[in-house]
Structure formats: C-alpha cells, structure tokens
Amino acid sequence: MPGSGHALVTGASSGIGAAIAREYARRGVPLVLSARREDRLQALAATLRGQVAVQCIPADLADPLAPRWLQEEIGRRGLHVSHLVNNAGYGVPGRYLSSEWKTHADFLQVMVTAVAELTHRFLPPMEAAGHGRILNVASLAGLVPASAGHTLYGAAKAFVIRFSESLAQETATRGVHVTALCPGMTWSEFHDVNGMRARVSKLPAWLWLNADRVARLGVAAVERGDARCVTGGVNRILAGLSKYLPESAARALIDRRSRDFRDSD
C-alpha cells in the first residue's frame, strides 16, 4: 500500500474515523484528514506525522458545495487519493417530526448525498490508475428492521450498504475495491453527540467493540475486496437473525429493545 496515494478520511476528528486514520498510518498510507473541527484534526495529525505525511482540510459536508471544494483543494495541493473513506456521520434523535426539515436535509446531505458525490468525484482517477479502495462506513442499523426514533439513520445506512454493494460489482474488474463497513455498538463519541450515552451505556459489554478493532476489520475487508463487513460475531448473528427470522418476529424483537439505543420521544 505505501506509495499508492493518499487516504482521504472524512469525519476523521474522532471515533471510527480517527481509528481508520490511525490504521492507515500504521500501514504506511499518507493521509488527508477532513472534518468540521480543525483543532481535533490537527491534534490527531500531530500524533500520526511520525509515521506518515498528513494533511488536514476542514470541511462541513452539510454544505452542498463541500464535496466539490474538497476535491478541488486536494487537487490544488497536488495530491492523489487512492483510498476514500466516507465516514462522516451522526444521528438525529427523537421522532421524525420533532426536528425541523433543515435538520433532516443537512443529515441527508452528509449521510447520503456527500457519500455518493465524493465517490463519484474520486472514483474516476482510481479506475484510471487501475487501483483504488473505497470504504463506506454504514451500520448494522442498515441491515436490521427499522425502529422508532432516529428515523432517517437506518434508512441512510441501508442506502450506503446497497450503494457500496452495487459499486463493488461495477468496479471489481477495474482494480477498485468498495466495501460497506457495518459496525454495531462501538465505543466512540457518536452517542455523546446524539445525547444517548447514558442510555446505551446500560447495554451489556459483550455488545460493544472499540473503534480501533472496527477500523482494523474494515480496512482489512476493503483490502481483501469484501463488499460488506459486519464487525464482530455478535453483530453477524444479529444481522443473520434479522434476515432469517420471520419478518414479524424480527420486527417485534427490535421494537421491544429499541428504546435501549433509540430516542423515539
């Protein structure tokens, strides 16, 4: 992997994004880190520059102009992106109607449109070079029945999974691997941002993985060319149950436990 180009990681300021950046640095891949919080990016970059070259480009992907600007800025710096990690994301807690439309529109821009646009912008040079890796961070929530609350989250992640799987088939003969990374409960700032930390912390420890392990599994999967990576045995069982259980039983199970990890008020 060293020498093949830079890894662009969005949402790299914390959590799984920061862990994926650390994993690529461990593998010798130079980095372009992007997120809204420049101070957090610079702090992470300072810890990684002893291993690889690191560039920081702050951007807010809720801005529809951000994907194009990010591509242009990377071009102005003379960098080639051979690894794209679409990781930026968050959750909107509560019922669908408890938030104004602008909140949902921004969410969809970050979680769906920016993922598709960044991929569309950075994929052509990968295909031209005959080598590329695209790791789209989805979620177990995109594979199991929907629950009340965080209404668009599972739907957005289901899109990312299907998008990645289709793209993986299109690019397989062109040297580009595309993977949907589907973690379950992961120790990160995600639950602090959406206000669910106290509630999800009551869930049993065996449901959780740390972000570094999720990152290692995801990067290994995209290097192998796996179209989908569900992290951890427990999560693979849950995904399997939701697939093979009768739909009514799977939905009832999710409904019964959803308040442990979703705010539906």
Query: Catalytic: which of 24, 90, 153, 244?
Result: 153
Other CB atoms within a 10 A radius of the CB of residue 116 amount to 16
CA 222 to chain centroid: 13
Tokens of 55: 């560039």
CA separation for the pair 156, 171 (Å, rounded): 22
Cα distances (Å, whole numbers) of residue 11 to 5, 29, 35, 110: 19, 18, 5, 10
Cα distances (Å, whole numbers) of residue 224 to 27, 151, 218, 221, 253: 15, 33, 10, 5, 34
Please, is 247 exposed, middle or buried when counting C-beta atoms within 10 Å of its C-beta (0-12, 13-18, 19+)? Answer: exposed
CA separation for the pair 194, 100 (Å, rounded): 16
Residue 24 known to be catalytic: no
Q: Dihedral of CA 214/137/40/260: which sign?
A: negative
Q: Are 181 and 209 in contact (CB under 8 A)?
A: no
Helix, coil or strand: residue 135: strand
Catalytic positions are: 153
